[in-house]
Chains A and B, each alone.
Chain A
Amino acid sequence: MPVIEIQGLTKTYPSGLQALKRVDLTIDRGEIFALLGPNGAGKTTLISIICGIVNASTGTVVADGHDIRKDFRAARMKIGLVPQELTTDAFETVLATVTFSRGLFGRPGNPALVEQILKDLSLWDKRDAKIMTLSGGMKRRVMIAKALSHEPDILFLDEPTAGVDVELRRDMWAMVRKLRERGVTIILTTHYIEEAEEMADRVGVILKGELILVEEKTALMKKLGKKTLTLNLVEPLTTLPADLADWDLRLSPDGGELEYSFDANAEDTGVPALIRRLDRLEIGFKDLNTRQSSLEDIFVSLVHRDGEAA
C-alpha cells in the first residue's frame, strides 16, 4: 500500500537549473527507501518538495492520501524531516526546542512523550543545555528529536550520517530499525552506499534530476550483481595461457591468484567450463571463493553507464 505517490514531478529553479526532470515514484507504507545519488543529483530538491520547503514546477505528490498542496495540513502532520544542515536555534534549550516542534506541528503538549524521545536519543541529560553548547553529533540528535516530536508516520532523513562518527551512525541505524518496527516509513538520502545496503528495503538511484532506477535492494544486487571468482593457484603463473583467452581473467601481480568476473545471472556463467579447462591445462588451485559485488560497484557502474550514454 503506497504511502507516498509522486507523479510527474519537475522542478526548474529561477536560475534555469533543472533540478528534477520528471520523477514518478511510489513509496510503500512501512518500508525503508534509500535515495542514492551523487551531490547535486536532486535528492534534496525532491525531499524539499515533498516536505513543503520548495514549490514544485509541475506534478503532484500525495502523502498518506493527502495532496501536499491542497491538503497540506493533513499531509505535513504525517511527515517529519531531518534536514541535511545542522540548523538549530543556538540559544534555545533542547527540551524547549523539541516541545516547540511538537506544537508547531499541531500537536497538544505531551511531556511524557517528549521525555521518551529525548531518552531514546540519549539527550535527556542534556535537556536544559543550550543547543549551541552541544557537539555536532548531539545537535544531529536534537534535529532527529524535533522531527519525531509530532509522531510522524513518514520520516525523511536527508544525509543523516554525513559527518557523523561511527557510534552515532550505529545508533542512528538502530533507531531507524526501531521506527520501522513501529510502522514508520523512512526515506533516507545518502551518498554512502554502505548505508543504503545496510538499511534499505528498496533503493532509488537519482542522477541529474532523473530517477534512473528503483529496485528492491536484493533484486538490484542480484540483477546488476557481478560476481568475482578468485582462485588461489598451487603454482604461480607468469602469464595467462592463450587457452584461457575465452574468459575475462586477471592475474594478480605475483601470479598466485586468478580472478574471473562474471555475471551471476547469466545463463552460462562460464565457471564450470573454466574449471574444466584449468583441469585440462593442469593448473591446480588450493582454494576458491566468489564474491558478490556491493551496491557501490553497482552504483559506480550505473553512473558510469549513464555518463557514456550522455
Chain B
Amino acid sequence: MTFNGYGVWAIYRFEMARALRTLWQSVVTPVITTALYFVVFGGAIGGRMQAVDGVAYGAFIVPGLIMLSLFTQSIFNASFGIYFPKFTGTIYEILSAPVSSLEVVIAYVGAAATKSAVLGLIILATAALFVPLQVLHPVMMLAMLVLISVTFSLFGFIIGIWAGSFEQLNFIPMLIVTPLTFLGGSFYSIDMLPEGWRTVALFNPVVYLISGFRWTFYGAGDVAIGISVAATLGFFALCLGVVMWMFKTGYRLKA
C-alpha cells in the first residue's frame, strides 16, 4: 500500500460529520455574523459612503468579508480538529494507524478547507441578497477561495498542533489574524490611507490576499493580481513546509 485512501476518507468523513453535528456553530453563526456586517456597513452606513474604485461600498466589502470568514473559520476548524484529539487523548489512534503524515494533513486540512470553502460560498449567496454583486473572474474567484481555505486550514492545523491549551488555540486567531484582516483592507482600499500608512499596510500579508480576491470580483485591487497570487502561494508553501517539519520531528505529537 502506498496511499491509505481508506484512512484519509475515514478522517475526512469524521471531521465532516463533526461539522454537521455542530451545524449551528459551523455554518449558521458565521452566516448571521456576516449578514450583520452587510446590514450595518452595506445597508445603514454604506448608503452614505461614496463608491470605492467605482464599486458601491456595500458590494466593495463583500470579498473582504468572505476572506475574514475564510481566515477565521479555516483556522478554527483545522486547529480544533487536531487539537481536540490531542486534548482528549484519542490522537493515539491516529498515531498508531498506518497513515503517513501527509495523509493526516490531507484529511484534516481537506475537511477544514471544504467546510470553509462551502461557508464562503454560502456567505457569498447571503451577500447577494443584500447588495448587487458581480464576479468578473468566477474561475479565478473559486480558485482563490479554495487556495486560501486550504492555506489557512494548514495554518490552523499548525496552531492546533502547537497549542498546549484552549487559550493558546484562540490566541493567534484573535490577536493576530483578526486585526491583520481588519487592517488589511477588508473595509477600505489601502489607497484611502495616508501615504505613510499605505507603506506600512503593504507589510501586512493579508492585504495581498484580500486585494487578489477583490480583483476576481471587480477586476481591480490594491496590488497587482500576480503579486497577490504569488503571496498566497508563498504562504501556502510556508505552512506546508512547517507542517511537514512538525510531522517529521514528531513536534508536540510524539514523545
Contacts and interface: CB of A to CB of B under 8 A. Distances in A.
B5 to A, nearest CB: 8
A105 B7 contact: yes
Given A100-B14, A106-B4, A106-B6, A81 B89 contact: no
Interface centre among B13, B14, B100 (most CB of A within 10 A): B14
B128 interface: no
A34 B92 CA distance: 22
Given A100-B14, A106-B4, A76 B254 contact: no
Contacts of B17: 96
Interface in A78-128: 79, 81, 83, 85, 87-92, 96, 99-108
Contacts of A72: 98
B93 interface: yes
A150 B146 CA distance: 34
A85 B90 CA distance: 10
A83 B14 CA distance: 21
Interface centre among A14, A53, A96 (most CB of B within 10 A): A53
B97 A104 contact: yes
B98 A89 contact: no
A289 to B, nearest CB: 48
Interface centre among A14, A89, A102 (most CB of B within 10 A): A89
A76 B98 contact: yes
B250 A76 contact: no
Contacts of A146: 93
Interface in B90-114: 90, 92-100
Contact of A14 (B13, B90, B255): B255
Interface string B12-42: 0110011001000000000000000000000
Contact of B96 (A79, A96, A100): A79
A89 B254 contact: no
Interface size class of B (residues with CB under 8 A): 20 to 34
Contacts of A76: 96-98
Contacts of A96: 17
A103 B6 contact: yes
A55 to B, nearest CB: 5
A234 interface: no
B158 to A, nearest CB: 20
B230 interface: no
A221 B18 CA distance: 52
Contacts of A6: none
B90 A88 contact: yes
Given A13-B255, A14-B255, A103-B9, A53 B4 contact: no
A59 interface: no
Contact of A55 (B1, B14, B255): B255
A106 B7 contact: yes
B193 interface: no
A48 B94 CA distance: 13
Interface residue SS majority, chain B: helix
A231 interface: no
B99 A104 contact: yes
B1 A73 contact: yes
Contacts of B100: 73
Contacts of A73: 1, 4, 98, 100
Contacts of A92: 14
Interface in B127-176: none
A92 B4 CA distance: 23
Given A101-B93, A104-B97, A87 B88 contact: yes
A221 B67 CA distance: 70
A52 B91 CA distance: 12
A54 interface: yes
B89 A85 contact: yes
A89 B18 CA distance: 11
Nearest to A101: B93
B11 interface: yes
B88 A89 contact: yes
B92 A83 contact: yes
A14 to B, nearest CB: 7
B237 interface: no
Contacts of A91: 18, 21
Contacts of B96: 51-53, 76, 79, 81
A77 interface: yes
B10 A100 contact: yes
Given A74-B1, A85-B89, A91-B21, A108 B95 contact: no
Contact of B10 (A52, A85, A104): A104
B49 to A, nearest CB: 45
Nearest to B9: A103
4 tightest Cβ-Cβ pairs between the two chains A and B: A103-B10, A87-B89, A76-B98, A73-B98
18 contacts: A51-B95, A51-B96, A52-B95, A54-B254, A55-B255, A73-B4, A77-B98, A87-B88, A87-B89, A87-B90, A89-B88, A92-B14, A100-B10, A103-B10, A104-B6, A106-B1, A106-B4, A107-B6
Given A85-B89, A100-B13, A103-B7, 9 more contacts: A55-B250, A72-B98, A81-B92, A90-B88, A96-B17, A102-B6, A103-B13, A104-B93, A107-B6
